[in-house]
Amino acid sequence: MEESQPASIDLGAIRERYARERDRRIRPDGARQYRSAVGEFGYYAKDPYTPFRERDPRTDRVEVLVIGAGFGGLLAGASLRRVGVESIRLMDEAGDVGGTWYWNRYPGVRCDVESYVYMPLLEETGAMPTERYAKGEEIRRHAVRIAEHYDLYRDTLFQTLSTSLTWDEDAAEWIVETDRGDRFRARYVITSTGTLTQPKLPGIPGVESFRGHTFHTSRWDYGYTGGTADGNLTGLTDKRVAVIGTGATGLQAVPILAESAGELLVFQRTPSTVDVRDNRPTDPAWAASLKPGWQRERMENFLAVLAGEPVDELLVTDGWTATVALQRNIITGAVDESLTEEERAYRDELDDAATMNRIRARVDEIVADPATAEALKPWYRYMCKRPGFSDLYLQAFNHSNVTLVDTSDSQGVTAMTETSIIVGDTEYEVDCIIFATGFDAGVSGVVSGTLPVTGRDGRRLLESWATGPRTLHGFYSHGFPNLLHLGAVQTASSVNFVHILQKQAEHVAAVIARAEHEGARRVEPTAEAEERWLRTLHETAHDSSAFQAECTPGYYNAEGTRSFTGLSYSPGPVAFHRLLSKWRAGDMSEVLVHEDASARKAEMAS
Ligand code: NDP
């Protein structure tokens, strides 16, 4: 190894400490330690924002049904409108559009990705975020703006869950059934059901016995807390409030809770990294100086930088663009080919250690109490957990009404009683428990089987995918015509996931437009095309399992059991978008089926 280790970094000691911290957190029950918010815990998933509205079941027909009205679904709707599709129906379990931003309205909620690249279609809708990191409510309203701008409210089914999709080969369309008694038809179905949607709770013994007030951050109960996402939670001024969980959500909610709660107890198991946030209002002079096309250019530049592609200029400078090489450990993209794999790994590890040392030093700079500061320091490699950014979170622990309760020795909260939270031998009496404990990863929609799909010849999607998803480019599968998926399966991803969804939405709209233009009977990849894509994914796959295995447990590595990410296109999103663009310039013959094969067989036989 040519490079020598800087004197300030003792990799051996760091490795040893990381392994120790990981080992004491690994639980034998792994991902089984959690409970889904269903059954007796269904209360935690109830929508607190929109009263239930009765409606008559639908039995009609639409051209395109879009399942999921978050940014993915909205971008699909917008892209379809642009290619001239009139009949679009948006369906969502929520009471309105917005997806993540519909559900997550907790105090302090903001996006961690710069809003100028995160909030899509700014120029198209004539919008400009008020801040560099916009508040959740501003982002939610932007989702509404997109729906209005593209006339997507014209046909919506909110508070509705699809319960089955069945392909009708004779009519070449889907029969859609829902939990509201609908049974209607759709020529195309696009699913965009998200990856982190269902709230999850820790399986703490006695969790059901707590008699105080309790809710999950993604279903915030402002009726109880008072106030808004900006604070002034007057209902909490005389309360002892507990927050369980210190992930990206906890980081944002804690400072606002600290301002309002009589007393705030923050139950932490693993500290997050908390790097500089550096939010600021949008500079009107800067906004006025932007030339048409600026947003696309900025988004593409941000994506290229994060994907490790060469760029002439760095348009966004933030915590994400500063840690590109470190993200490569779990997010795919181009790597520095001038180094050997071993050299790269060593350089990354040094870079990682320097970044983490800086983040740990920041805790000491901000947090006054040395014991609290020590407990707030993260001991793992940078991308083991979702990186966090805040200029308020660590500061909150200097307030006299805020206490950090470190639960790492007991691998989390030990138990709950009617009135208290127990950690080890200590009992903490509280009035209210707020679960900032995250979401079941990847359980929504077709992948998990919560939406059963029966395709051509009665074949079940999950049976076809028994050994893992099989798709062409992540969008569609052989045997399941006119069913197109947006999301994170067998595609390339990035931190700016909405940009990824936008590209996917534009792609599927282009495919549908071509199919309609050519009068194709179905959009369905050939078995060969599907097989080829699987081979490409395997051949280019970057194996992150060694990195994941050394990480402290979390949803990224299925609580220390395996890599959650699955197969993705390792050359990264920019290379993927290039590949798609080239593919679209071709004749699309591997997905456009012009006649019914059985009819052709019958015709040939006669
Ligand atoms: P996470 O899954 O990231 O965090 C859950 C937290 O709950 C962790 O701190 C976890 O500790 C803790 N926890 C779980 N079980 C227990 C237990 N038994 N006792 C004590 N603590 C426990 O969920 P979040 O909602 O914070 O974030 C989910 C994802 O949502 C993020 O990773 C990010 O992708 C996204 N997000 C994005 C935001 C943005 O700005 N763009 C903002 C908020 C969320 P441990 O780490 O030890 O498991």
Q: What's the CA angle centered on 588, arms 79 and 586, to 5 degrees?
A: 95
Higher confidence at residue 543 or residue 457? 457
Confidence (pLDDT) at 546: 85
**Cα(249) to centroid(ligand 1), Å:** 6
Matching fold, domains 11-36+200-277+342-435 and 61-198+441-525+587-605: yes
| CA 99 – ligand 1 centroid, Å | 18
Give the per-residue pLDDT at 199: 93
Q: What is the mean pLDDT of residues 341-353?
A: 92
Domain edges within the chain: 11-36+200-277+342-435, 61-198+441-525+587-605, 287-332
Enumerate residues 6+ apart whose C-beta is below 8 A from 54. none
What separation in Å is there between the alpha carbon of 583 and the centre of ligand 1?
38
Q: How wide is the angle at C-alpha 589 spanned by C-alphas 583 and 591, nearest 5°? A: 85
- Reported as a single tens digit per residue, the pLDDT across 505-563 is 999 999 999 999 999 999 999 999 999 999 999 998 888 888 888 999 988 888 887 65
Is the separation of the CB atoms in 224 and 234 below 8 Å?
Answer: no
**Distance of alpha carbon 69 from alpha carbon 82, whole angstroms:** 17
Q: What is the pLDDT of residues 225-259, one digit of tens each?
A: 999 999 999 999 999 999 999 999 999 999 999 99
Give the model's pLDDT for residue 305: 96
Cα 436 to ligand 1 centroid, rounded to whole Å = 6
Average pLDDT, integer, range 487-498: 93
Measured in angstroms, how far is the CA atom of residue 245 from the centroid of ligand 1?
A: 6
**CA gap 376, 38 in Å, rounded:** 32
Q: 127 CA to middle of ligand 1, Å?
A: 31
C-beta separation of 506 from 317 below 8 A: no
Rounded Cα–Cα distance for residues 272 and 360 (Å): 10
Q: Ligand 1: distance of its center to the CA of 285 in Å?
A: 37
Give pLDDT, residue 554. 87
Q: Which atom of ligand 1 is nearest to the CA of 25?
A: 47
Q: How many CB atoms lie within 10 A of CB 97?
A: 27
For the CA of 435, the closest atom of ligand 1 is 7
* Amino acid identity, position 143: A
What fold is seen in the domain 61-198+441-525+587-605? FAD/NAD(P)-binding domain (3.50.50)
Find the mean pLDDT for residues 199-216. Answer: 94
Q: What is the pLDDT of residue 543?
A: 80
Q: What is the DSSP string of 167-210?
A: EETTTTEEEEEETTS-EEEEEEEEE---SEEEEEEE--TTGGG-
Identify which of 179, 178, 156, 183 has the alpha carbon closest to the alpha carbon of residue 74: 156
Whose C-alpha lies nearest to ligand 1, atom 46? 270
- What local confidence, expressed as pLDDT, does residue 605 receive? 55
Atom of ligand 1 minimally distant from the CA of 386: 32
Q: Ligand 1 atom 14: the closest Cα is on which residue? A: 437
Whole-angstrom distance, CA of residue 329 vs CA of residue 446: 28
Segment 120-141, tens digit of pLDDT: 999 999 999 999 999 999 999 9
Angstrom distance (rounded) from CA 581 to CA 507: 8
Specify the amino acid at residue 412.
G
Token pair for residue 10? 């003792």
Choosing from 113, 435, 437 the residue with most ligand 1 atoms within 8 A of its CB, the one to mutate for a pocket test is 437
Query: How do residues 3-39 score in pLDDT, each as one tens digit?
Result: 567 777 899 999 999 999 999 989 988 888 988 888 8
Secondary structure (DSSP) of 379-427? -S-GGGS--EE-SSHHHHTTSTTEEEEE-GGGTS--EE-SSEEEETTEE
Give the pLDDT score at 1: 43
The binding-site residues of ligand 1, defined as CB within 6 angstroms of any ligand atom, are 110-112, 196, 202, 204, 244-250, 252, 267, 269-270, 386, 407, 412-413, 436-439, 554-555
What pLDDT score was predicted for residue 3? Answer: 55
Neighbours of 448 (CB within 10 A): 13
For atom 48 of ligand 1, the residue with the nearest CA is 554
603: pLDDT strictly greater than 70: no
Compute the average pLDDT of residues 291-317: 96
Q: What is the CATH number of domain 11-36+200-277+342-435?
A: 3.50.50.60
Cβ contacts of 236 within 8 Å, gap of 6 or more = 225, 226, 257, 260, 261, 262, 432
Atom of ligand 1 nearest to the CA of 553: 48
Structure tokens at 222: 């402002």
Q: Which of 55-59, 86-90, 152-156, 193-197 has the lowest mean pLDDT?
A: 193-197
The answer for residues whose C-beta is within 8 angstroms of residue 437's C-beta and 6 or more apart is 34, 199, 200, 201, 202, 216, 244, 245
